[in-house]
Amino acid sequence: GAVVSQHPSWVICKSGTSVKIECRSLDFQATTMFWYRQFPKQSLMLMATSNEGSKATYEQGVEKDKFLINHASLTLSTLTVTSAHPEDSSFYICSARDLGRMNNSPLHFGNGTRLTVT
Amino acid sequence: AQTVTQSQPEMSVQEAETVTLSCTYDTSESDYYLFWYKQPPSRQMILVIRQEAYKQQNATENRFSVNFQKAAKSFSLKISDSQLGDAAMYFCAYRSNTGKLIFGQGTTLQVKP
């Protein structure tokens, strides 16, 4: 079945540094990937839609200069949290849909990245 | 904009019993998809069941079934013969034509032995 790999699974960084999270579709192509953030015991909030070969589309309230998204190929999207602060500590999840399947195919999710900013 | 509402933050069910999780949504679109996802403590998102809005027949996957009421914009999940492994957080989700998923607030399901 379709697999989305997300790396790293967890990361601890110091305040002010930047962290890059990778999302790869392992056995399918995805022109579009989605990045979500989830705080403990809360829902997944869509941050942005990552589009291969073009600029990402950010949801209202999400700072595009702070959360840089790059989707350079049909199988890889990256999210960089720049100048991280403790309030950026959260669980980040990416997802993608298999282009080669029917329109009703579900999104496939990565295992998530737990970011802790100290 | 589309919204998804889950009004039950927590639910509890006895093992082997049946439980229903509620979900309502709001949209002006006529063609869309609805999903239920399960998120265990590992936080992996697991697809439970999906429903195409154009289909009147309610989707069923083994012990999981939905009650889809399009006019009422309601999409509840019924879990029959509940098992300990069903304990998790459950999210109702709406997918628009743009492909992005919008999630409800989630319902934490506890299964008592």
Grouping H, G, I as helix, E, B as strand and the rest as coil, residue A33 is strand
Chain A: give the shortest CA distance to residue B45, in Å: 6
Asked if the Cβ–Cβ distance from B101 to A93 is below 8 Å, we say no
Chain B: give the shortest CA distance to residue A85, in Å: 23
A92 has a pLDDT exceeding 60: yes
Nearest-by-Cβ selection for B35 from A34, A93, A106: A106
Asked if the Cβ–Cβ distance from B43 to A44 is below 8 Å, we say no
B52 in contact with A, Cβ within 8 Å: yes
Please, which pLDDT band fits residue A49 given cuts at 50, 70 and 90?
very high
Nearest-by-Cβ selection for B91 from A44, A91, A106: A44
A105 has a pLDDT exceeding 80: no
What's residue A85's pLDDT?
A: 96
In this predicted model, which residue has the larger pLDDT, B72 or A103? B72
Contact B95, A49 (CB under 8 A): no
Find where tokens 């934490």 sit: B108
What's residue B1's pLDDT?
A: 81
Please, which pLDDT band fits residue B80 given cuts at 50, 70 and 90?
very high
Give the C-alpha distances (Å, rounded to integers) separating A46 from A36, A61, A118, B70, B101: 4, 11, 24, 24, 8
B106 in contact with A, Cβ within 8 Å: yes
B67 in contact with A, Cβ within 8 Å: no
Please, which pLDDT band fits residue B104 given cuts at 50, 70 and 90?
very high
Q: What is the pLDDT of residues B24-64, one digit of tens each?
A: 999 998 889 999 999 999 999 999 999 999 888 999 999 99
Q: Is B41 exposed, middle or buried (0-12, 13-18, 19+ CB in 10 A)?
A: exposed
> What is the rounded average pLDDT for all residues in chain A?
91
Q: Which residue of A has its CA nearest to B6?
A: A43
> What is the rounded average pLDDT for all residues in chain B?
95
Asked if the Cβ–Cβ distance from B106 to A42 is below 8 Å, we say yes
Cα–Cα distance between B65 and A10 in angstroms, integer? 35
A82 has a pLDDT exceeding 60: yes
